[in-house]
Chain A
Amino acid sequence: MEFKDYYKALEIERTASEDEVRKAYRRLARKYHPDVSKEADAQARMRDINEANDVLRDKDKRAAYDALAERVARGGATGAPSDGGFHPPPGWDEGFEFHRAPGQGPADHADFSEFFSSVFGKAEQRASARRNQRARGEDHHAAIEISVEDAINGVQREITLRALEMDAQGQPTFVNRTLSVKIPAGVHPGQFIRLTGHGMPGHGGEPAGDLYLEVRIALHSLYRVEGRDLYLTLPITPTEAALGAQVQVPTPGGGVVEVTVPSNARGGLKLRVRDRGLPGKPPGHLYLLLEIALPPADTDAARKAYEQLAQAVPFNPRRFFGVGGTP
């Protein structure tokens, strides 16, 4: 893990005013927002920009960050090695934990780095305790990535959440909470899982906050996920496309379904296998996108077969051009 230069992320000087921080964030957010940006690394840049903004726009966090950056530059920060990098203690990269203080609330807090959570996690908790003498604990937000198969079948997962605290001697120490969580079957991307009472402790006898896990589905070698629906590209031969066929298709639930490819099917045709997407009420569907795969003409027999087909079935796919057929 590297020390994150938030000023560099926002392309501003360390002396930048609050207004300059705000303007820099808004300019870069427009440039790198994944919904509009053409940059290849837009998503990663937007995450860094959001994280930098969250720290530098807040006076307390910025002051703490500046002090830490200064110590790192001098090589005197806890865990900082002689090469000037910011190296965490062993086992650092096992988890993450984020806090949403009143008045804050970026939806993408769950994307923030371990560096952010380690430095600012407990600081937010202490600030909250000062603000609220008697208040329910703050909610936590984190993300969890699972496979398509786990989304369908459910899965037991261990999640390690981490925060930096001072021990009795005033030394920084990591406190980990490992939660064993059963992810219910049938979750879909963007859905939140609520773990009641696993947020920050309450103050003055009030209850703890909740932990919200946002579900993300990992890329799959076969299926793409859109909401509860799954998409699978289904290769078929020209013969199957022309004459129609019964073909077998794997389902992510582990089964196989037999589907009918209609005759004269074209590439790109979408077939729906009802209710075979992610489970739920209502369940999603499995969509099959037909892709016609040509047998390679790499043998005499194959080339002859193609020539015979051309003779038997004269066909000009460019007839609408009006410039003649195959010479």
Chain B
Amino acid sequence: MTQPSYTAVTVESVVAIDSENPIAALALAHACGADMDWVVQLVEIGIIGLPPSVAPPHDWRFDSADLQCALEARRLERDFGVGLEAAALILDLQHEVRRLKAALQVQRHSK
């Protein structure tokens, strides 16, 4: 085994994804190893949000929370073989559990 070789690169293009710096639908699909049709399904089912708009899918933009939901939906599809409607319900329940746990933690800390 040879020793590691190193190359250092300063990254100039760094973007924190949020509502002001969203990613395009195609980029979201690529990040999830999916295609645009899959992203359209996520929007239609409501797994990821989209402001009311008549824009075509290629003009859609998403923030970090959408990307996280899409990645989790992809994992549920792959690892559990669930359909996207079921994934949507699972994600809703998961988020509610996390919200309640966070609220409980706040209460515990305040006692």
Contact = CB atoms under 8 A, between A and B. Distances in A.
Contacts of B74: 104-107
A231 B102 CA distance: 11
For the complex of A and B, 6 pairs with smallest distance between CB atoms: A105-B74, A107-B71, A268-B110, A289-B110, A174-B4, A106-B75
Interface stretch (B7-15, B44-52, B53-61): B7-15
B6 to A, nearest CB: 5
Interface string B58-91: 0000001101100110110011110000000000
A162 B11 contact: no
A313 to B, nearest CB: 23
11 contacts: A50-B79, A162-B4, A177-B9, A178-B9, A184-B14, A190-B64, A191-B17, A196-B15, A197-B13, A224-B109, A268-B107
B11 A106 contact: no
Contact of A231 (B5, B15, B71, B109): B109
Contacts of B18: 191, 280-281
A106 B78 contact: yes
A102 interface: yes
Interface in A45-65: 50, 53, 57
A231 B106 contact: yes
B10 A180 contact: yes
Interface stretch (A6-14, A165-173, A249-257, A295-303): A165-173
Contacts of B5: 173-176
A139 B30 contact: yes
Interface string A248-267: 00000000000000000001
Contacts of B8: 158, 178-180
A184 B16 contact: yes
B79 A195 contact: no
A107 B72 contact: yes
B16 A100 contact: no
Interface residues of A, number: 75
Nearest to A189: B64
A181 B2 contact: no
Interface of B: 1-11, 13-20, 23, 27, 30-34, 64-65, 67-68, 71-72, 74-75, 78-81, 94, 97-98, 101-102, 105-107, 109-111
Contacts, number: 165
Contacts of B107: 268
Contacts of A175: 4-5
A89 B4 contact: yes
Contacts of A220: none
A114 interface: no
Contacts of B19: 281
A65 to B, nearest CB: 18
Interface in A201-239: 209-210, 212, 214-215, 224, 226, 231, 233
Contact of B64 (A78, A136, A138, A191): A191
Given A179-B10, A210-B31, 16 more contacts: A35-B98, A89-B1, A90-B3, A91-B4, A104-B74, A106-B78, A136-B30, A158-B8, A174-B4, A182-B11, A194-B15, A210-B30, A212-B67, A233-B109, A270-B106, A289-B110
Given A179-B9, A231-B109, A195 B78 contact: no
A121 interface: no
Contacts of A104: 33, 74, 78
A208 to B, nearest CB: 12
Nearest to A193: B16
Contact of B32 (A105, A108, A174, A290): A105
Interface centre among A90, A107, A190, A195 (most CB of B within 10 A): A107
Nearest to A287: B106
